[in-house]
């Protein structure tokens, strides 16, 4: 089982290319995440720290900081911290749902502390995210993050509702991806944008001021960019579940299939090999799940889904041509987009 290094390659590329402010702020986010997982008495610390220690790419915080740009300041660091707390909360809760023993190659909170602690730890990370923003008076940020959280929960419920249904449409699958993944990436970009506008000033004149008009103008391109790479990220993640290899993904091939989660690789494969729709996912075991992965791969569906994801990333990068982005943002966000693809190439 491979362990990720502290700073994964795509992040390194962005950091290498950036000027001094980005690593400084990412460091502040890490400090803030660590602080929020301590100082609450023993039981909380242990559970929250286990989640933090699992690490991750900090992709969403990086999007917040980059969309805020050099002038983001404290509001950008808070927003970056808050969105990662929400992301971590959903990971902890997902692990409870799936009874997953490993996440990123390390034991999950659910596995180490038991389900009750994991549910409460997730709730805590979630609450902390909103408390952090609310205490600082970042009203618009709370609004964006709560909307994204509603979408996340909605997406989770939709996925559970669709479980083991091999007949779901591509459209339904994409809608679930938008809710479960793309919405939070979109939110990250918008959080970055609003962090550059002092919240109280903005709050007062929200419906009327010319300032707000400018926010909305830049918002469309940033939202499109975030949503696009978020969607691509999910598609590529779903390819990885089928393609493996386990020593790179940290989980067995076909884990989604065993959970009953039908994703685009299966849907696309069924176009060429219609018998795939008739497979009873409930009857799968580790061995037959791997065999189904091979059958999906044999149709060429994985390349097809990879191409779709690459197109999405390319379209997302077109958004960066907008005057809403300055040259440094254009370059660094472009590297983040490339990183999403590289991770899976």
Mark residues 195-214: x for contact with a copy of itself by CB under 8 A, - for none.
-----x--xx-x--------
What is the 3-class SS of the chain, one letter each residue?
A: CCCCCCCCHHHHHHHHHCCCHHHHHHHHHHHHHHHCCCCCCHHHHHHHHHHHHCCCCCHHHHHHHHHHHHHCHHHHHHHHHHHHHHHHHHHHHHHHHHCCCEECCEECHHHHHCHHHHHHHHHHHHHHHHHHHHHCCCHHHHHHHHHHHHHHHHHHHHHHHCCCCCCCCHHHHHHHHHHHHHHHHHHHHHHHHHHCCCHHHHHHCCCCCHHHHHHHHHHHHHHHHHHHHHHHHHHHHHHHHHHCCHHHHCCCCCHHHHHCCCCHHHHHHHHHCHHHHHCCHHHCCHHHHHHHHHHHHHCCHHHHHHHHHHHHHHHHHHHHHCCCCCHHHHHHHHHHHHHHHHCCC
Task: Examine residue 173 and tell whether it contacts a copy of itself (CB under 8 A).
Answer: no
Smallest separation, CB 194 to a copy of itself (Å): 12
Instruction: Say if residues 123 and 96 touch (Cβ distance below 8 Å).
Output: no
Smaller CB distance to a copy of itself: residue 169 or 278?
Answer: 169
Instruction: Say if residues 286 and 249 touch (Cβ distance below 8 Å).
Output: no
Smaller CB distance to a copy of itself: residue 141 or 229?
Answer: 141
Smallest separation, CB 240 to a copy of itself (Å): 22
Smallest separation, CB 54 to a copy of itself (Å): 18
Looking at 15, 102, 131, 291, which residue binds a copy of itself (CB under 8 A)?
131
Looking at 88, 96, 111, 284, which residue binds a copy of itself (CB under 8 A)?
96
Task: Examine residue 143 and tell whether it contacts a copy of itself (CB under 8 A).
Answer: yes
Task: Examine residue 127 and tell whether it contacts a copy of itself (CB under 8 A).
Answer: yes
Smaller CB distance to a copy of itself: residue 184 or 340?
Answer: 184
Task: Examine residue 116 and tell whether it contacts a copy of itself (CB under 8 A).
Answer: yes
Instruction: Say if residues 155 and 94 touch (Cβ distance below 8 Å).
Output: no
Looking at 78, 128, 251, 308, which residue binds a copy of itself (CB under 8 A)?
128
Smallest separation, CB 257 to a copy of itself (Å): 16
Smallest separation, CB 34 to a copy of itself (Å): 17
Smallest separation, CB 301 to a copy of itself (Å): 27
Task: Examine residue 191 and tell whether it contacts a copy of itself (CB under 8 A).
Answer: no
Count of CB atoms situated within 10 Å of the CB of 212? 15
Smallest separation, CB 126 to a copy of itself (Å): 7
Looking at 11, 54, 62, 121, which residue binds a copy of itself (CB under 8 A)?
121
Looking at 23, 55, 56, 115, which residue binds a copy of itself (CB under 8 A)?
115
Site residues, a copy of itself (CB under 8 A): 40-44, 47, 90, 93, 96-98, 114-117, 119-124, 126-128, 130-131, 134-135, 137, 139, 142-143, 145-147, 149-150, 152-154, 156-158, 160-161, 200, 203-204, 206
């Amino acid at each position: 089982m491979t362990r990720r290094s502290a700073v994964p390659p795509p992040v390194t590329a962005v950091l290498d290319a950036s000027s001094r402010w980005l690593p400084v702020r990412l460091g502040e986010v890490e400090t803030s995440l660590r602080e929020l997982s301590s100082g609450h008495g023993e039981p909380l610390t242990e559970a929250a720290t286990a989640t933090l220690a699992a690490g991750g790419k900090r992709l969403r915080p990086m999007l917040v900081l980059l969309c805020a740009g050099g002038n983001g300041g404290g509001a950008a660091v808070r927003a970056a911290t808050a969105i990662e707390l929400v992301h971590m909360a959903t990971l902890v809760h997902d692990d409870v749902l799936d009874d997953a023993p490993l996440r990123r190659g390390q034991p999950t909170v659910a596995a180490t502390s038991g389900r009750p602690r994991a549910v409460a730890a997730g709730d805590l990370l979630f609450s902390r995210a909103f408390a952090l923003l609310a205490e600082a008076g970042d009203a618009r940020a709370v609004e964006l993050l709560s909307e994204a959280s509603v979408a996340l929960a909605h997406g989770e419920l939709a996925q559970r509702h669709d479980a083991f249904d091999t007949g779901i449409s591509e459209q339904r699958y994409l809608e679930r991806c938008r809710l479960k993944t793309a919405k939070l990436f979109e939110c990250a970009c918008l959080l970055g944008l609003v962090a550059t506008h002092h919240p109280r000033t903005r709050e007062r004149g929200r419906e009327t001021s010319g300032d707000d008009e400018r926010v909305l103008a830049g918002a469309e391109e940033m939202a499109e960019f975030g949503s696009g790479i978020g969607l691509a990220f999910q598609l590529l993640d779903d390819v990885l579940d089928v393609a493996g290899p386990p020593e790179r993904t940290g989980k067995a091939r076909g884990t989604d299939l065993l959970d009953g989660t039908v994703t685009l690789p299966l849907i696309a494969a069924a176009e060429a090999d219609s018998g795939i729709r008739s497979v009873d996912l409930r009857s799968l075991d580790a061995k037959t799940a791997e065999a189904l992965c091979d059958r999906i791969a044999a149709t060429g569906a994985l390349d097809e889904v990879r191409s779709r994801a690459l197109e999405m990333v390319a379209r997302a990068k077109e958004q960066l041509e907008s005057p809403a982005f300055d040259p440094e943002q254009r370059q660094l966000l472009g590297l983040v987009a490339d990183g999403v693809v590289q991770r899976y190439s």
